A and B are shown apart, each in its own frame.
Chain A
Amino acid sequence: MTRTSPLAGVKTDTLFVNLGPQHPSTHGVLRVGLTIDGEVITKAVPDIGYLHRGTSKLAEVRGYHHCVVLTDRWDYVSAMPNNLVFCLAAEKLMGLKIPPRAKALRVLMCELNRIASHLLFFGTYGIDLGAFTPFLYAFREREMVLDLFEMCCGARLTYNYIRLGGVMVDVGDNWIAKTKEFIEYFKPRLDEYDTLLTYNPIFMVRTREVGKIAAEVAVNWGLSGPNLRGSGVNYDVRKADPYCGYEQYDFEVPLGKSGSCWDRYFCRVSEMRQSVRLCEQVLATLPPGEFMAMGVAKVPKPAAGEAYAHVEGARGDLGIYLVSDGQASPYRMHVRAPSFINLAILQEMLVGNKVSDVIAILGSIDIVLGEVDR
C-alpha cells in the first residue's frame, strides 16, 4: 500500500529572504539573496560590491609609497600582511635588499596581526552562534595587540607600518617587554577559549557536521588560508613559498580533517598558538641593525617590468601583481584577495542547509568585506 503524504495537494511556496546588507551577522555589507523552503536553503546568491572603492585603479595614479596607504584599507582587521605584500612586490620590481632586522620585524608584526585577526574571527563567530561572552574576551585580548601596534607605529587599525625597503620605525626595548608580557598573558587565554567555545558541546554540534568542503572541492574553488587547510590540504605560503625569512622559524601548519566549519575554526585557533610560537622565536632572535634599507628613493621609478608577490595573510593567500612601465606610479595593480575568492564557494555551500547554518558557514569562511570589494 502506498502512503500518500498528508500534505499532498497543499500548495507550498518558497520564500525569498534578503540576508543583508544590513543584517547583523554578515560581517559588513554583504547581501545574500536566499530562497528558502521552510528553513532549508534552495538557492543562495551572494551580492557584493557595497564597499567598492577601486583601490586597484587608485593605485595607478599614486606613487609607490602612497599605495601602501591604500593597502591598509583592504583587509582592515589585518592590515600588516596587506602592507607587506605590496612592499614585497614593489621591492621585487625595484630590486631592494631588505635588512634582516626589518625582515624579522615584518614577520613579528604579521604574526601579531594574525593573532588580532583570528581573535576577531573567534569573537564574531561566537556571536554568530549565539555566545556573546567569548566575543568580549577576544576583544579584550585584541585590544592589547592593538595597543602594541599603537605603541609601535601610532595607529591601531591602518598601520602603514611596513614600507618599501623595511619598516616605518624600529621597536624599542619597552615595546619588546610589553609584547613578551602580552604573549605570557595570552597563552593561558587560548586554553580558556578552547573550553568556552572550541570543545563546547553545543558549539561542536552546531559546527562539526555543517558546511563541509571536500579537499578537492576546496582546491577547485581556489580557496586558501584556513578555509583550505580546514579541508586537510597542506598549503601555507609561509611554508610553500617562504618570504621574509619564515624558513628560519619553527612552526607547524595546523590542518583540519573533514573541512567542516569546526575544522576551519579549529585551524584558526591553532594558528593563533603557532603565531604565538613564531612571535616568541622572532623576539628571541631579533637581529640588530638597520630597520630600513639604504637608498630607497623618495619617488621610486622602477624599471618597466612586472612582479608578483604573495603572502599568507590572515585570510589566505594574499597576492599582488604589479606592472611597472617605468613611471612613478604602477601601470597596473591586481590584487588576489583571499576573502573574495573564498566567498565564491558560498553559493554552493549554502544550498541544502538551514537558515541558522547560513550564519555558521558565512562566519566560518571569515570574510572581510573591505577585502572582498576593495
Chain B
Amino acid sequence: MIAYFRTVFTAAWALLQGMAITLKYLFKPSITIHYPTEKLVPYEKFRGALLFDAETCISCNLCVKACPSACIQLENATNPQTKKKIAKVDWYSIDFGKCNFCRLCEEVCPTKPKAVWHSLDYEVVFYTRDEMVRCWKAGINYIGKYWNRKEKIFKDPEGQISIQEVHSRR
C-alpha cells in the first residue's frame, strides 16, 4: 500500500519536474535566427560555394585530379602564335551538382592566392540544372557563368550573391 502511494507520488513528482523545465524555457529568450531577415556570417573556414579566379590559375590540373567526384574540368589556354599550351586557363568549369564541398581542390591549389577556393556563400541555390554547371574564362568574375541551353548563351546565375572574397583564406 505504501509502495503504491510512493510510486504514484514519485511519478507525479517526476512529471511536475518535467513541466517545471518546460516552463523555465518558456520564459527564456528564443535562440532562433530569423533566416531570411537575419543571416549569419559563417566562420572563416566555412566551405561554401567554390569561387574561381581565372587570372591566377596556372592550369596545372591538380584540382581536377584532387576532386573525388570529378566535378572540375578545365582546358589550357594556347599561345595563338605558337599553338603551344601556356600556364593559363582557357576555360574552367565546376559542376555544383556533383561537388562534395570537401576542400581538396582548394588545398591542392599551388598558386598564391588560391585560384579556386571556398567562399562563405551558403545560399547556393539553383533554379535550373543548367545553373549548377558554372563556367569561367578570363574576364568572367569569380562566380562564373552558366550555359543556358535554351537561349544558347552564357548567363550570370540568377539571384546569386555578387561576390564574397575571403582574402585571409586565399
- Interface residues of chain A, those whose CB is within 8 Å of chain B, are 62, 65-67, 69-70, 72, 133, 137, 140, 147, 150-155, 158, 160, 168-169, 192, 195-196, 199-202, 298-299
CB of A160 within 8 A of CB of B103, answer yes
Tell which of B15, B69, B103 touches A200, judged by Cβ atoms closer than 8 Å.
B15
**Measured between C-beta atoms, what is the minimum distance from B109 to chain A in Å?**
13
Check B45 for interface membership: any CB of A closer than 8 A: yes
Contacts of A199 in B (CB 8 A): 14
**Measured between C-beta atoms, what is the minimum distance from B69 to chain A in Å?**
8
**Measured between C-beta atoms, what is the minimum distance from B123 to chain A in Å?**
15
Contacts of A299 in B (CB 8 A): 65
CB of A154 within 8 A of CB of B47, answer yes
Known contacts A140-B31, A200-B14; decide if A151 and B101 are in contact (CB<8 Å): no
Contacts of A155 in B (CB 8 A): 46-47, 101
Tell which of A65, A152, A200 touches B66, judged by Cβ atoms closer than 8 Å.
A65
What are 6 A-B residue pairs whose CB atoms fall within 8 Å in the complex? A65-B68, A69-B69, A147-B43, A150-B45, A151-B45, A195-B18
CB of A154 within 8 A of CB of B104, answer no
The answer for the CA separation of A205 and B163 in the assembled complex, in Å, is 56
Contacts of B108 in A (CB 8 A): 298
- Interface residues of chain B, those whose CB is within 8 Å of chain A, are 10-11, 14-15, 17-18, 21-22, 25, 31, 42-43, 45-47, 65-66, 68-69, 100-104, 108, 118
Main SS of the interface on chain A? helix
Beta-carbon nearest neighbor of B66 in chain A: A65
Beta-carbon nearest neighbor of A62 in chain B: B68
The answer for the CA separation of A192 and B17 in the assembled complex, in Å, is 9
Beta-carbon nearest neighbor of A150 in chain B: B43
How many A-B pairs with Cβ below 8 Å?
65
What 9 A-B pairs come out closest when comparing CB atoms? Answer: A66-B68, A201-B11, A154-B47, A154-B45, A151-B43, A69-B68, A160-B102, A69-B102, A195-B17
**Measured between C-beta atoms, what is the minimum distance from A55 to chain B in Å?**
11
Known contacts A154-B118, A158-B100, A158-B102; decide if A196 and B43 are in contact (CB<8 Å): no
CB of A158 within 8 A of CB of B101, answer yes
Of the listed residues A69, A70, A140, the one surrounded by the most CB atoms of chain B closer than 10 A to its CB is A69
CB of A150 within 8 A of CB of B42, answer yes
The answer for the CA separation of A140 and B28 in the assembled complex, in Å, is 13
The answer for the CA separation of A153 and B47 in the assembled complex, in Å, is 8
**Measured between C-beta atoms, what is the minimum distance from A127 to chain B in Å?**
15
CB of B101 within 8 A of CB of A196, answer no
Of the listed residues B11, B18, B118, the one surrounded by the most CB atoms of chain A closer than 10 A to its CB is B18
Contacts of B17 in A (CB 8 A): 195
The answer for the CA separation of A137 and B28 in the assembled complex, in Å, is 12
The answer for the CA separation of A169 and B45 in the assembled complex, in Å, is 10
CB of A70 within 8 A of CB of B68, answer yes
CB of A201 within 8 A of CB of B43, answer no
Beta-carbon nearest neighbor of B62 in chain A: A298
CB of B101 within 8 A of CB of A200, answer no
CB of A152 within 8 A of CB of B45, answer yes
Beta-carbon nearest neighbor of A299 in chain B: B65
Contacts of B101 in A (CB 8 A): 155, 158
Of the listed residues A137, A140, A151, A201, the one surrounded by the most CB atoms of chain B closer than 10 A to its CB is A201
The answer for the CA separation of A158 and B17 in the assembled complex, in Å, is 38
**Measured between C-beta atoms, what is the minimum distance from B12 to chain A in Å?**
8
CB of A133 within 8 A of CB of B14, answer no
Contacts of B47 in A (CB 8 A): 154-155
Contacts of B25 in A (CB 8 A): 137
CB of A150 within 8 A of CB of B102, answer no
Beta-carbon nearest neighbor of A157 in chain B: B101
The answer for the CA separation of A65 and B42 in the assembled complex, in Å, is 26
**Measured between C-beta atoms, what is the minimum distance from A280 to chain B in Å?**
23
The answer for the CA separation of A152 and B44 in the assembled complex, in Å, is 9
Beta-carbon nearest neighbor of A175 in chain B: B43
Of the listed residues B14, B25, B42, the one surrounded by the most CB atoms of chain A closer than 10 A to its CB is B14
